[in-house]
Amino acid sequence: MQKNLLLISNSSDPNNKYLGSHCEGLLKTTLADVEHVLFIPWAQPQGIPYNAYTALVRERFQELGKDLTSIHETNEILVALGKAQSIFIGGGNTFSLQSKLLNTFGAIPAIRKRVLQDGIPYIGSSAGINVVCPTIKTTNDMPIVLPHSFESLNFVPFQINPHYVEPEEGSKHKGETRADRINEFHATEDNEHRDLLVIGLYEMSSLVVKGKAMEVKGPLNSQGVVVFEQGKKPSRFPVDTDLSFLLRT
């Protein structure tokens, strides 16, 4: 089976609907052949309890005609992963998520087997796409929990920076811009992953990976991606661009 990934930059659409208009069509296509979603709530946005987070997410997937179980609702996590028809990792804090992934015995190899070997659909948004990269080093989140490693699920051979954004026009803020931070990732010798490509994924845009093909999708007014390669000028690609060549890096 081939990889089948839907990587969504941000979960809320312009009307603040959860997994709303910006990705609804992509969700339907990705989940066309499955009836059930296994949800991983470990990123816990704003520290909300897993039950509350799951209720929100379940309601949305039920609207889309899919049943959903959260991994925290089962005692047999590896059994649940082994039977999963599809997996969704939602947004929140990437460090919390990464710690739970690392500290849940067998979770990372089991998820990798289901997605990379068995080809079940994987959906991630925000923190849920930081963890599909080789490392979580291009997250925007605060490091509120210390994971013992920054290396993660490694479904794709590049880093993604979700919620990619340029400074608002006229901004006087003196902190680093997002592009500055990504340049720092590439320029700092102590970062042993500094040769990896980084894809800045604008809000409302998504990456769709099917086997060896990748495209950036989203509403026509979403901005697609900016690709940062070590030592080169960033390149922009609008929605509907074929980005398969980035999977071969």
Decide if residue 80 touches a second copy (CB under 8 A). no
User: What's at 21, amino acid-wise?
Assistant: S
50 vs 116, beta carbon nearer a second copy: 50
145 vs 247, beta carbon nearer a second copy: 145
Residue with tokens 């979960």, as numbered in its chain: 11
- Distance in angstroms (rounded) separating the CA atoms of residues 213 and 196: 19
- Distance in angstroms (rounded) separating the CA atoms of residues 125 and 108: 18
Identify the CA nearest to 57 among candidates 11, 26, 22. 11
Give catalytic status of residue 193 as yes or no. no
Query: Which residue among 22, 96, 125, 141 is the active-site one?
Result: 141
Residues 6+ apart with CB under 8 A from 23: 6, 8, 13, 125, 206, 218
Decide if residue 228 touches a second copy (CB under 8 A). no
CB 97, min distance to a second copy, A? 10
Judged by CB under 8 A, the chain residues 81 through 120 that form the site for a second copy are: 93, 95-96, 99
Q: Any alpha helices (H) in 116-221, and if so which ranges? A: 127-130, 178-187
Residues 6+ apart with CB under 8 A from 33: none
Give catalytic status of residue 205 as yes or no. no
CB 238, min distance to a second copy, A? 19
Decide if residue 46 touches a second copy (CB under 8 A). yes
Decide if residue 184 touches a second copy (CB under 8 A). yes
Give catalytic status of residue 126 as yes or no. yes
Contact residues: a second copy, CB under 8 A: 10-12, 14, 44-48, 93, 95-96, 99, 126, 136-146, 149-150, 162-163, 165, 168, 171-176, 180-191, 194, 203
Give catalytic residue positions.
Answer: 126, 141, 163
